[in-house]
């Protein structure tokens, strides 16, 4: 059994209204030092088997097909 984490974030230059809303809320709560906020998604996935190469291939396919909109999002795969 392997564990993986997939982090999906918006590409640079893509408008992030949710991040802007969070940024505004933090400033309204007097949280100091916040210059900007970009939000994303994190997926923690447990994988059957022990073949890291096959796991990475499967996760890339999952990202390309479902987890990330690759037109506007980047993804990073980390296998523990």
The upper half-sphere exposure of residue 16, i.e. CA atoms within 13 Å in the direction of its Cβ, equals 19
User: How many Å apart are CA 33 and CA 61, to the nearest integer?
Assistant: 38
Question: What tens digit of pLDDT does each residue of 1-12 get?
Answer: 899 999 999 999
Mean pLDDT, range 38-54, rounded to an integer: 95
Angle, vertex CA 15, rays to CA 9 and CA 18, nearest 5:
70
So where are the chain's domains?
2-79
Question: What tens digit of pLDDT does each residue of 26-40 get?
Answer: 999 999 999 999 999
Mean pLDDT, range 49-62, rounded to an integer: 95
Q: What percent of the chain has pLDDT over 70?
A: 100
Fold of 2-79: Mth169; Chain: A , (3.30.1280)
Mean pLDDT of the chain: 96
């Amino acid at each position: 059994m392997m564990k993986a984490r997939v982090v999906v974030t918006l590409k640079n230059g893509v408008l992030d209204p949710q991040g802007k809303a969070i940024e505004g809320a933090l400033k309204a709560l007097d949280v100091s030092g916040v210059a900007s906020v970009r939000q994303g998604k994190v997926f923690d996935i447990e994988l059957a088997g022990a073949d890291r190469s096959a796991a990475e291939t499967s996760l890339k396919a999952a990202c390309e097909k479902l987890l990330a909109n690759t037109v506007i999002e980047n993804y990073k795969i980390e296998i523990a």
